[in-house]
Structure 1
Amino acid sequence: MQYSGKPRILILGGNFAGLTTARFIREQCGKDVNITVIDRKPYLLFVPNIPIEVFANRNPQNALHMPIEHVLFDDGIDFIQAEVKAIDVETSQVEYVSVERPGSSLEHIEYDYLVVALGARLAYDKIEGFGEYGSTLSDTYYGNRLRRYLHEGGYKGGPIVIGSSRFHQGTKGKPDWLPNALAACEGPPLEIGLSLGAWLEDHKLGGPNKITLFTPAPVIAEDAGEEIVAKFLEMAGNMGYNYVNKTEDIKRLTADGIEFTNGKSLEAEIKIVLPDWQPHSFMKDLPIVDEEGFVITDLTMRNPDYPRIFAAGDAAALTVPKLGTLGDMQARIVALQIAKDLGKVSAEKADEPFRPTVICMGDMGRDKGFYIHSDVWYGGKTSIMKMGHMIFALKLAFKEMYYRTGGKPSRWGLPLTELLIEHLT
């Protein structure tokens, strides 16, 4: 394909998948492309470490908002702080409204390549009673609200429930090997449950026996694989945790507890819930998405009907569960694919397909962490779970590395972490 000027690459979203994609496209294509990132906020929200900050009584807003404007500027990448309103795949245009100050008018921008990395809409507004009675740790606002409740005398010592709403996964374009997930991502409930159980003991407010973990699925964290889940449930049961499965979905939250659509309920003072992950409303009915609104791609993260449109991260239909490491894998694939189109890398280098693997590091409290590396849910044979202080230290170290590199960790960063954990712990 010939261009009258430099190819215009537009990336929608500036969190993990979007920022990583932008920076690796620049690395692969050099100065021969124009790159623009659009996001409604000028910072990356480092979601994985929110529980660590909250249970340590630190406001997560102070440590987990990584500014991205200067990082992009240093790479020669334009940034527009705006809310995306529409995508026209026929005219190759995106409509947006600047959100720096209220009252901005609708504008549009054209592209030669489009990368949809908008993440997902966390549908807390679909959970009846959440605003008044719910808690969560999916962003720093809600994290800080829970921190104050726990550390400033609000908590009265009552029972606690932690779990997920039902996730609605699309089927259009779904490959046969990709399982159906009933929860978007259940690493966070495990992490929150383990670290909160330790926090209760340390503050002499009880322990794991006050906590009930719940899931809409037959088993919690099913994407980790049967062997790992069985080990976790045995460990959690021995520690005193309560467990409820097959809840179907959350019906409502009340002052006294939580009600499920299967007709059952649990008493709870604190209701920590993860919502349904939904695509942004303007994505629905586009010709590039499934029936839910997630972008359909092949294993090179390219839409089969519009080959200059890619997706990475939670906005992609192949990202199941909605896990950061999957978004990182996809971002690197997208960068190589665009570089291949522009003659920068060979097809042999670029066409390595997406092979999903669940890799997760979580906090357990008391400076310990757990590590999961598994691909059995996708038909593979890897199934590793480990725990220890070194894993917690590596979780903290990854955040520092990510900040220091401005969202472009070295290619050996994650493999080295896996090597250290799997062979030295």
Structure 2
Amino acid sequence: MNKPHVVILGGNFAGLGSAQKIREYADDSVDITVIDRKNYLLYIPNIPAEVFENKDPAEHLTLDLYPVLKHDDINFIQGDVTGIDVDNHTVAYVPSERPGSATQSLRYDYLVIAVGARLAFDKIEGFAEYGDTVSDFYYGNRLRKKLHDGSYKGGPIVVGSAKFHQGNGADGLEPYPGGSIPRAMAACEGPPVEVALTVANWLQEHGKGDASNVTITTPGKMIAEDAGEKVVGQLLDAASSMGFNYLNNTGDIVRLTADSIEFENGQKVEAELKILFPDWVAHDFLKGLPISDDQGFIITDLLMRNPKYPEIFAAGDCAAVTVPKLGAIGHQECEIIGRQIALDRGLLTVEAANQALQPVVFCIGDMGGGKGFYIRSNAWFGGDTQILKMGRIPYLLKMQYKTLFMTTKGKTPPWGNEVAEFLAEKF
């Protein structure tokens, strides 16, 4: 008798995490196949640190998927997913190892969609010519060269986010009593906070200015609103004391020129460097499906199942419930999916498996100079926790987590967050 086939679309954090958790909880009761257009995991969170230290992130921040998945008897296909037929339980993909391949079809019994989101830099006029970011190796190295080869002359810097167009797929969900999945004006603003703090430290170290050279912008009422008003207030007080400039309620980013950035609210700010984080949009092949919301993000309940097609799950940035688009929430979702499939296979009890998502903003960022910030908060979703810590321990935790992730091939021990909480919050 054939085992149920679990097909996972995407092999970065949410895809790899889902595959590993399904194998952990469902054991050998299922066959698992992961499809991704690239054959490695891109370790995105540490790209800024590499850039400002003048290191090539491509040398240190990849994890080869083939041997990692093979170790757990998980199949891997390198291919571009082009379509999902939810009624016939099939996925269409084009093998991407070499150009010119014919479209293939793969049948599933369970489908986990973990393809992330598309970063819409193309929606920002002038970004190709005048914009910078730290979202991947290409852009990271482009910014690194500007900073370290003398191209950057010490002029003003803007760090900010474009407006996020959130779908309606999480409307009505209540992760905490009386709470909700709120509407976000920016997809994730931990990275711009991190980059702004780090670039200010870099300016001082290189004799090119200080925080007063840097303007932090947000399309929303306040930056990093998902961290909670108390934490944001503490962050803004610290930023103000350092000399940062701050603009909120800018609306979307409209246009970049060689020496400026223009916003939807009519403001125009001088900037030699524009380090930006774009709108995060759903992949085209997800739009218009009966499992997708009005923006193309995958609708799930708090057990990460689609209500109409309960054999379909979503995790990470492509899931409508993942707001903000934060890795820590994706990890929580992978755990839930692994337990749900194990429940279906009769390997877990209902009580053990049905632990619904209660999202927590868990963010550790670099500040430069061997210091970092640590945020643990669920207040945005209706919880009662808001914690911010700054200092050397958060920096060490961020760097050591990367080492731990790479060493364990993504299988960070369950006590990792508990140790991080203890060290960051008690010392």
**TM-score, normalization: structure 1?**
0.98
Is contact 1:174-1:317 (8 Å) kept?
Answer: no
| Secondary structure of 1:81 counterpart | strand
Among candidates 3, 9, 14, match of residue 6 of structure 2 = 9
Q: How does 1:206-355 map to 2 (within 5 A)?
A: 206-355=209-358
Deviation at 1:119, TM superposition (A): 0.3
Q: Which residue number in structure 2 is paired with residue 66 of structure 1?
A: 63
Q: Which moved more, 1:24-33 or 1:94-103?
A: 24-33
Is contact 2:169-2:297 (8 Å) kept?
Answer: no
The alignment's C-alpha RMSD in Å is 0.8
Q: Distance in 1 between matches of 2:422 and 2:38?
A: 35
Q: Which residue number in structure 1 is paired with residue 140 of structure 2?
A: 143
Q: Which residue number in structure 2 is paired with residue 76 of structure 1?
A: 73
| Secondary structure of 2:299 counterpart | coil
Is contact 1:68-1:406 (8 Å) kept?
Answer: no
Is contact 1:54-1:60 (8 Å) kept?
Answer: yes
Per-residue deviation, residues 91-114 of structure 1 (Å, max 9, x unmatched): 000000011001011111000000
Letter of the 1:202 partner, please give it. Answer: E
Letter of the 2:132 partner, please give it. Answer: S
| Secondary structure of 1:363 counterpart | strand
Letter of the 1:309 partner, please give it. Answer: I
Among candidates 193, 196, 208, match of residue 196 of structure 2 = 193
Q: Which residue number in structure 1 is paired with residue 54 of structure 2?
A: 57
* 1:108 aligns to 2:105 (yes or no): yes
Deviation at 1:175, TM superposition (A): 2.2
Among candidates 115, 119, 126, match of residue 116 of structure 2 = 119
Q: Distance in 2 between matches of 1:229 and 1:147?
A: 29
Letter of the 1:355 partner, please give it. Answer: Q
Q: Distance in 2 between matches of 1:126 and 1:79?
A: 33
Identity of aligned residues (%): 54
Letter of the 2:24 partner, please give it. Answer: E
Letter of the 1:372 partner, please give it. Answer: I
| Secondary structure of 2:20 counterpart | helix
Q: Distance in 2 between matches of 1:62 and 1:312?
A: 28
Is contact 2:119-2:281 (8 Å) kept?
Answer: yes
Is contact 1:360-1:373 (8 Å) kept?
Answer: yes
* 1:21 aligns to 2:18 (yes or no): yes
Q: Distance in 1 between matches of 2:73 and 2:181?
A: 37
Deviation at 1:172, TM superposition (A): 4.1
Q: Distance in 1 between matches of 2:110 and 2:27?
A: 16
Q: Distance in 2 between matches of 1:126 and 1:173?
A: 24
Letter of the 1:291 partner, please give it. Answer: D
Deviation at 1:380, TM superposition (A): 1.0
| Secondary structure of 1:386 counterpart | strand
Is contact 2:170-2:321 (8 Å) kept?
Answer: no
Note the residue ranges of structure 1 that are not aligned, 5 or more in a row.
none
Q: Distance in 2 between matches of 1:300 and 1:31?
A: 22
Is contact 2:186-2:219 (8 Å) kept?
Answer: yes
Deviation at 1:264, TM superposition (A): 1.0
Q: Distance in 2 between matches of 1:412 and 1:348?
A: 21
| Secondary structure of 2:7 counterpart | strand
Per-residue deviation, residues 182-213 of structure 1 (Å, max 9, x unmatched): 00000001000001000000000001000000
Aligned length: 421
Letter of the 2:234 partner, please give it. Answer: K
After the TM superposition, list the runs of 4 or more consecutive aligned residues in structure 1 that deviate by more than 4 angstroms: none
Deviation at 1:178, TM superposition (A): 1.1
Q: Which residue number in structure 1 is paired with residue 395 of structure 2?
A: 392
Q: Which residue number in structure 1 is paired with residue 160 of structure 2?
A: 163
| Secondary structure of 2:308 counterpart | coil
Letter of the 1:157 partner, please give it. Answer: G
Q: Distance in 1 between matches of 2:333 and 2:57?
A: 27
Per-residue deviation, residues 196-233 of structure 1 (Å, max 9, x unmatched): 00000000000100000000001011001111111111
Is contact 2:169-2:298 (8 Å) kept?
Answer: no
Letter of the 1:284 partner, please give it. Answer: K
